[in-house]
A and B are shown apart, each in its own frame.
Chain A
Amino acid sequence: MMRLLSGLVLLLALGGVAQAAIDTYEFASEAERARYRQLTEELRCPKCQNQNIADSDAPIAMDLRAEIYRKLEAGESNAQIIDYLVARYGDFVLYKPPVSGRTLLLWYGPAALLVGGFVLLGVIVLRRRKGGGVAATGLSSDEQQRLAQLLEQAPEDKKAP
């Protein structure tokens, strides 16, 4: 029972914190509120290195929240609002950078590495299967032949000196 109660208190307290970060803007509809929240969470505060506009207390973040709110009220679309900010602050404000020549590596690099790794793995496995024992000793077929020859000669060599 105690546990349940303290859990409930904690939940309420955290709920209070989460609410506190949001300004007291009045929205015409829930959909608009959701859009405001989505935009402020996806856009990065230009002053602070790693905070979104929603969480930041920097004056510039407050200004941008007000600007986003004003634009939402004016009926602008998300794309229009994002373009407005990108035109002024650059791609830096986007937590989801657009796919372009400069960000190709960022977007597809990890997938390319993964695929490359699997390809490499496949090649290695196939080679081992084909080569059988050869790959296990790391010798080419020529070297393998020489080894066999040497092994045959070995007893005779031992007799010599």
Chain B
Amino acid sequence: MRRLILLLPLVIFLGVAVFLYRGLFLDPSELPSALIDKPFPAFSLPAVEGDQLITQENLLGKPSLVNVWATWCVACKVEHPVLNKLAALGVTIHGVNYKDDNAAAQKWLGEFHDPYQLNISDPKGTLGLDLGVYGAPETFFVDAKGIIRHKFVGVIDEAIWREKLAPLYQQMVDEADQ
């Protein structure tokens, strides 16, 4: 018993070491979204092009990715070709043009191809605020019932899609098919 007590400092040290070692690989800029498993916030915003008014009801029926982007966002430009590829593969992607100039957004979509099914224009960032957006690009995974299932902050590249995000999307598609 007395011997075991002598081991206590070592045990405490190992506990702290494991705890701190894990901390090395945590990304502190990755916030857990407060909206996971909650319905997509209600909104009523115009489309980037045309006079169509888009609401949260338009998102229902099919699982989709809702991608928050802007022309001033450098990382969005990096992400854009990947979204184009995903859209070509049949992934439903909607865009939220966040705090942007509409003309610039139209030009961007004309020049770099438009992967979005719905193009929501959010010039004042009101939907962004309701979504808890703190930096573009951010991508929300919304299931067929309009529930936010997952949020990804940052650039989606092919490796991240393959390893992390595709299974999540597939799961939503499978659920919708049932």
Asked whether, in the complex, the Cβ of A88 is within 8 Å of the Cβ of B125, the reply is no
Asked whether, in the complex, the Cβ of A49 is within 8 Å of the Cβ of B31, the reply is no
Query: Chain B's interface: helix, strand, loop or mixed, by majority?
Result: loop
Interface digits, A49-73 against B, CB 8 Å rule (1 contact, 0 not)? 1000000000110010001000000
Q: How many interface residues does B have (CB within 8 Å)?
A: 16
Q: How far is the CA of A87 from the CA of B31 in the complex (A)?
A: 13
Asked whether, in the complex, the Cβ of B32 is within 8 Å of the Cβ of A90, the reply is yes
Asked whether, in the complex, the Cβ of A90 is within 8 Å of the Cβ of B132, the reply is yes
Asked whether, in the complex, the Cβ of A63 is within 8 Å of the Cβ of B129, the reply is yes
The answer, among B28, B35, B99, for a CB contact under 8 Å with A49, is: B28
Asked whether, in the complex, the Cβ of A87 is within 8 Å of the Cβ of B34, the reply is yes
Q: How far is the CA of A63 from the CA of B34 in the complex (A)?
A: 18
Nearest opposing residue in chain A for B124, CB measure: A63
**A-B CB pair tally, cutoff 8 Å:** 34
| A118 contacts chain B at the CB level, 8 A cutoff | no
Asked whether, in the complex, the Cβ of B31 is within 8 Å of the Cβ of A92, the reply is yes
Nearest opposing residue in chain B for A47, CB measure: B134
Contacts of A92 in B (CB 8 A): 31-32
Nearest opposing residue in chain A for B34, CB measure: A90
Scoring A59, A63, A67, A88 by chain B CB atoms within 10 A of each residue's CB, the highest score goes to A88
Q: How far is the CA of A86 from the CA of B125 in the complex (A)?
A: 17
Scoring A86, A90, A91 by chain B CB atoms within 10 A of each residue's CB, the highest score goes to A90
Asked whether, in the complex, the Cβ of B125 is within 8 Å of the Cβ of A89, the reply is no
Given known contacts A46-B134, A60-B135, A88 and B28 CB-to-CB distance under 8 angstroms: no
Contacts of A67 in B (CB 8 A): 129
Query: A10 CB to closest chain B CB, in angstroms?
Result: 35
Asked whether, in the complex, the Cβ of B29 is within 8 Å of the Cβ of A89, the reply is no
Nearest opposing residue in chain A for B134, CB measure: A46
Contacts of B125 in A (CB 8 A): 63
The answer, among A49, A86, A90, for a CB contact under 8 Å with B33, is: A90
Asked whether, in the complex, the Cβ of A46 is within 8 Å of the Cβ of B129, the reply is no
Query: A120 CB to closest chain B CB, in angstroms?
Result: 11
| B131 contacts chain A at the CB level, 8 A cutoff | yes
Contacts of B32 in A (CB 8 A): 90, 92
Contacts of B131 in A (CB 8 A): 88
Interface digits, A102-128 against B, CB 8 Å rule (1 contact, 0 not)? 000000000000000000000000000
Contacts from A to B (Cβ < 8 Å): 46-47, 49, 59-60, 63, 67, 86-92
Q: List 18 A-B contacts (CB under 8 A).
A: A46-B132, A49-B28, A60-B135, A87-B34, A88-B34, A88-B35, A88-B129, A88-B130, A88-B131, A88-B132, A89-B31, A89-B34, A89-B132, A89-B134, A90-B33, A90-B34, A90-B132, A91-B34
Contacts from B to A (Cβ < 8 Å): 28-29, 31-35, 99, 125, 129-135
